[in-house]
């Protein structure tokens, strides 16, 4: 192993050991404070305002983003800007989550005094329980970090890793307490790969005039005109109440190919009781159903409600374009 790799491995081992120790304390003496902090954050009627200076500030910005994206309104407040007018952003129904390894960051003093004067709940993440920050806070979550992994012991490394991990732990506990689901997550992440993974059949399906609909008694000659005009490669067969009766695919047509095909009714050609999905089915799950269907893959799925009424048609290409 090179000297560089050995040093990198040492840092990772030291930071991993600090996280293991923190997890052990969270299972023991830190558990009551952590539970109280989660309750305060959950019961707040306002926002979670995260603050910190320097590297703690960078961690705090990420922490606020995580809270906001998982159902808890939050933003980051720079303590220096807070002292120059942005204290007005802090309301009485908010909660302040302050981060400082030493707990003695001078720039936090005005914000701490403001929280005390206006009875704003203050939660601290620090390694020094008896510090200025620790003494001012309603709840203190101690990281327990005494030494940085930095080779000269000065640059914030282990302390910021532990603080970041505690923030993730708070966010996860809040998600569990609030019953936050993947559907909730999707509302906050409509873009990118994360959003694509959480799109539902109801969001991607074709509806209304785009649907290739016929009744069961429609002649195949007429049904094929509908199929061609809608460009989805299928005919969806419904009754007068829009209950799904069956579906006609290219494969069904090939299997019934003959001189009388055009005169036959759709009911004679369709696949009755086809595979369906509900509108809340994830598009990724629907894609898997289409590709792994016993008996061969298919390229479209009717989307139905709980009563079996047709809501739309989901095509393979719609899922692939968002995969």
Residue 192 falls inside a structural domain = no
> What is the span of the domain harbouring residue 293?
201-320
Residue 188 falls inside a structural domain = no
Tokens of 240: 């007068």
Distance CA 296, CA 290 (A): 9
Dump pLDDT digits (tens) for 18-33: 999 999 999 999 999 9
Residue 185 falls inside a structural domain = no
Strands 234-238 and 244-249: what pairing? antiparallel
Distance CA 101, CA 156 (A): 8
176 and 207 fall within a common domain: no
Domains contained in the chain, number: 2
55 and 136 fall within a common domain: yes
The b-or-e profile of 196-214 (16+ CB within 10 A means b, else e) is bbbbbbbbbbbeeeebbbb
Q: How confident is the model at residue 187 (pLDDT cuts 50, 70, 90)?
A: confident
Q: Which of 151, 180, 209 is the last residue of a domain?
A: 180
Question: Would the pTM of this model clear 0.85, i.e. be above it?
Answer: no
Distance CA 157, CA 161 (A): 6
CATH code at position 218: 3.10.580.10
Dump pLDDT digits (tens) for 50-64: 999 999 999 999 999
Residue 194 falls inside a structural domain = no
18 in Cβ contact with 117 (< 8 Å): no
What's the order of all strands across the beta sheet hosting 48-52? 74-76, 48-52, 95-99, 122-126, 139-142
283 and 153 fall within a common domain: no
């Amino acid at each position: 192993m090179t000297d560089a790799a050995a040093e990198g491995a040492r840092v990772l081992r030291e930071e991993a050991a600090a996280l293991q120790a923190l997890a052990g304390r969270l299972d023991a003496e830190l558990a009551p404070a952590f539970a109280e902090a989660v309750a305060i954050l959950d019961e707040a009627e306002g926002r979670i305002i995260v603050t910190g200076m320097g590297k703690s500030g960078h961690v705090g910005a990420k922490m606020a983003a995580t809270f906001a994206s998982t159902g808890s309104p939050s933003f980051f407040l720079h303590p220096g800007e807070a002292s120059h007018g942005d204290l007005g952003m802090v309301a009485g129904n908010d909660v302040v989550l302050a981060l400082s390894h030493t707990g003695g960051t001078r720039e936090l003093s005005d914000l701490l005094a403001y929280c005390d004067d206006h009875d704003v709940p203050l939660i601290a993440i620090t390694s020094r329980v008896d510090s200025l920050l620790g003494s001012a806070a309603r709840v203190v979550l101690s990281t327990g970090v005494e030494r940085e992994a930095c080779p000269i012991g000065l640059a914030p490394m282990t302390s910021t890793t532990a603080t970041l991990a505690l923030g993730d732990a708070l966010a996860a506990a809040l998600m569990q307490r609030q019953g936050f689901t993947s559907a909730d997550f999707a509302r906050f992440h409509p873009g990118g790969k994360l959003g694509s993974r959480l799109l539902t059949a109801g969001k991607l399906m074709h509806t209304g005039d785009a649907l290739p609909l016929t009744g069961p008694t429609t002649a195949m000659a007429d049904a094929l005109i509908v199929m061609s005009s809608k460009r989805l490669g299928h005919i969806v067969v419904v009754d007068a109440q829009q209950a799904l009766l069956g579906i006609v695919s290219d494969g069904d047509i090939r299997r019934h190919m003959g001189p009388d095909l055009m005169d036959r009714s759709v009911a004679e050609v369709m696949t009755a009781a086809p595979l369906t999905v509900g509108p809340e089915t994830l598009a990724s799950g629907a894609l898997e159903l289409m590709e792994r269907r016993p008996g061969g893959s298919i390229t479209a799925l009717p989307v139905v409600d709980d009563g079996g009424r047709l809501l739309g048609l989901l095509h393979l290409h719609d899922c692939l374009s968002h995969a």
